[in-house]
A and B are shown apart, each in its own frame.
Chain A
């Protein structure tokens, strides 16, 4: 993983989460190791976030790959694999 690229993606991801998520959270504290389940999404709010992430990065993610991810770092890796 390109660490500079990963850092930039993480920063953009935090911005998207800040804008999209309904739940209050300290988004600046989100790091690559942060488990996705700790972010408080439900089956609907996760869709809002995914839509906005795809729009931010201009890519389409495979939902089958998305549901396999467990941490923010794995999401970042998936975004990089898809050209982000």
Chain B
């Protein structure tokens, strides 16, 4: 019964978003994000603690201001992802910086690419935009409510961008996907129970190793993506030059070297725009 109520609430919210023009929908979502910040005390405490720990705020007051801004930002991310067609079809709304070595991979239909990012800016817009080159698969964790999950998946699929489940019985699925010349988009900044401890803002954080291992084993090119909002419904997508790690024979050392690089690229983006990061996640446990 609760799932059904949640589903219809989600449908109603989407209906409202669809009726409003993008700018108004974005403002509405930001206001909801701000309201959420006020209402969700546990999440607020986590966010403020994370912001202070990361050292991107000088004091609690500044941390709360960043946290509220980040909550508004996340509201906007949801709406932007739903209304992404406006961004994707308007070159004025998407400034893109792709280094030559990455462009060569994107333009070669036979070469797969691993694109890594974090919950920064609008990562979904980045994935959807990149699907103009080749199919993109992003990984999503299943929601508790299967009805809302189905609705969200339907709304988030654009062009050749699709979401695939985090858990799947086929252990070779990522290798197959990359072997088919597709893009695998991975977010690496959630607490990874089976990950390795690597510094994130100077503090050890369990970090996912899938991207690093795929680069080392499948020898698939790897890049880091930052898609920051520069104005409402307007973005700047920057891909790093290819990150290359030669195999040393020491698996753990190779993986750690890559993961450290990925974390430092994410830190750099967050320091520049701390209000565009998802701070409410318990990153350090």
A contact residues vs B (CB 8 Å cutoff): 22, 36-37, 41-48, 50-52, 54-55, 60, 63-64, 66-67
Contacts and interface: CB of A to CB of B under 8 A. Distances in A.
A47 B217 contact: yes
Contacts of A60: 219
Contacts of A67: 172, 175-176, 179
Interface string B152-172: 000000000000000111111
Contact of B171 (A22, A41, A54, A64): A41
Interface of B: 167-176, 178-179, 194, 209-210, 213-214, 216-219, 247, 249, 251
B199 to A, nearest CB: 21
14 contacts: A42-B167, A46-B171, A46-B172, A47-B214, A47-B217, A48-B251, A51-B213, A51-B216, A51-B251, A52-B251, A63-B219, A66-B175, A67-B172, A67-B179
Contacts of A54: 217
A37 B167 CA distance: 15
B194 A44 contact: yes
A48 to B, nearest CB: 7
B217 A51 contact: yes
Nearest to B254: A51
Contacts of B247: 51, 55
Given A41-B171, A42-B171, A44-B194, A64 B179 contact: yes
Contact of A43 (B173, B216, B249): B173
B181 to A, nearest CB: 11
Contact of B213 (A36, A37, A47, A55): A47
Nearest to A20: B251
B216 A66 contact: no
Contacts of B209: 44
A55 B252 CA distance: 13
Contact of A63 (B169, B178, B210): B178
Given A63-B217, A64-B179, A67-B179, A43 B251 contact: no
Given A43-B173, A47-B217, A60-B219, A55 B249 contact: yes
A47 B169 CA distance: 15
